[in-house]
Structure 1
Amino acid sequence: MKILIIGGKGTIGKKVTDHFIKENEVIVAARNSGDVTVNIEDSKAIEKMFREVGKVDAIICIAGEAKWASFNELSEEDYYIGIRSKLMGQVNLVRIGQGFLKPGGSITLSTGVLADDPVVRTASAAMVNGGIHSFAQAAALELEHGHRLNVVSLELVVDAYEKYKDYFQGHNPISMEKAINAYVRSVMGKRNGEIIRVYT
């Protein structure tokens, strides 16, 4: 398979890339490095990336950011950080990417536990994650050419525990193996329009 992984240099993305590259042709896209570069906030940059890469069997996005701050500190513009990046960035990857997806191919987006179990300072991030869930479930109903669309939603992973442990007190981080397997289930399986939650 020819697999495009956007965000393939990050904490989770690198491990997912390392798994798929063993038996597949993997193209890694990132903002400043990788086989191709892309800023997912820019739809023209997304189009340019896909023209460079060409047709693929699977698209995985493990990218996008959102502002973390106390609710009373978040400005309107702060919310748009997540809307432009993690939400519309992934929406545009589906909207544009379907034209570069081979028949029967899949698109996998990424969110996280905040959509279902938010913690303090995550009003914006939780909002964006929930929006992606609703978008994917609706868009999957209208995909053509046998295309599939799923979302992987993970609990805090062990490799990011030290960085985020103060936010996720009482949460049980999941292994990187479980995180990787969620993406494998989406790409290699037959599910469509599902939120693949791995919270334990």
Structure 2
Amino acid sequence: MKVVVIGASGDVGRTVCAELSKRHEVIEVCRSSGDYQTDMTDMASLERLFQAIGEVDAIVVTAGSVKFAKLQEISQAEFMYALSDKVMGQVNVVLAGMNYVRDGGSFTLTNGLLDQHPVPNGVGAATANAALSGFATAAAIEMPRNIRLNVVSPGLMDISYERYGKTLKGHEPVSSKIVAAAYAKSVEGSASGQRIIGE
């Protein structure tokens, strides 16, 4: 299969690319590096990306940023950043990329576990995660041409623990192999409208 991974330079993205490239042609897309560059908050940028790449079998998104702040201190701008970057960025990928995914192909989005297992200062991330789950469930039943749509909720990966362990207190590190398998399940399987847990 021809698979596009948007957010290929991050920890999750690198893990997904390493796994899928064993069996598929993987095209790495990042904001400023990779095979192609795009800004997923900009529909025109995404349209240029997909026009350049052409038809694909699967699109995986592992990009999206949020701000961590206390509930009493988080600003509207910080909330909107999470919603515009992590949520609408991935929604934009689906809307812009739909016509470039072959019949029976798939989208795999990424949220996280903080809406189910919250941590202090994580309200922005949790809100974004829940929104993406709702989008995936609802959008999956309207996807054309038997295109599938899932969202993966990766746990705190072992390779990310040193950087994020203090922020995600109480979350035990998960093998990157388990996270990679969750994405492979979405891309290579038959499920649609599912939240696939990678922990």
TM interval, short-chain normalised: over 0.9
Structure 1: distance between partners of 2:156 and 2:117: 11
Runs of 4 or more, structure 1, over 3 Å off, are none
Letter in 1 for 2:129: N
Q: For 1:3-43, what per-residue CA distance to the aligned partner results, in whole angstroms no more than 9, with x for missing partners? A: 00001111111121112112211111000001100111111
Q: For 1:86-145, what per-residue CA distance to the aligned partner results, in whole angstroms no more than 9, with x for missing partners? A: 000001111111110000000000011112111011111110010000011000011110
Letter in 1 for 2:137: Q
Structure 1: distance between partners of 2:198 and 2:4: 22
Residue in structure 2 matched with residue 42 of structure 1 by the alignment: 42
**1:198 CA displacement:** 2.4
| Secondary structure class of the residue paired with 1:120 | coil
Structure 1: distance between partners of 2:73 and 2:139: 33
Q: Which is worse superposed, 21-30 or 187-196?
A: 21-30
Residue in structure 1 matched with residue 181 of structure 2 by the alignment: 181
Structure 2: distance between partners of 1:172 and 1:124: 21
Residue in structure 2 matched with residue 52 of structure 1 by the alignment: 52
Letter in 2 for 1:74: I
**1:155 CA displacement:** 1.4
Residue in structure 2 matched with residue 105 of structure 1 by the alignment: 105
Structure 2: distance between partners of 1:143 and 1:31: 26
Residue in structure 2 matched with residue 152 of structure 1 by the alignment: 152
| Secondary structure class of the residue paired with 2:120 | coil
Q: Which is worse superposed, 65-74 or 133-142?
A: 65-74
Letter in 1 for 2:194: E
**RMSD of aligned C-alpha atoms?**
0.9
| Secondary structure class of the residue paired with 1:121 | coil
Letter in 2 for 1:147: I
**1:80 CA displacement:** 1.1
Identity of aligned residues (%): 38
Structure 2: distance between partners of 1:168 and 1:83: 20
| Secondary structure class of the residue paired with 1:8 | coil
Residue 88 of structure 1 pairs with residue 60 of structure 2 = no
Structure 2: distance between partners of 1:41 and 1:79: 15
Letter in 2 for 1:44: A
| Secondary structure class of the residue paired with 1:59 | strand
Unaligned 5+ residue runs, structure 2?
A: none
**1:170 CA displacement:** 2.5
Structure 1: distance between partners of 2:68 and 2:169: 16
Give the paired residue count. Answer: 199
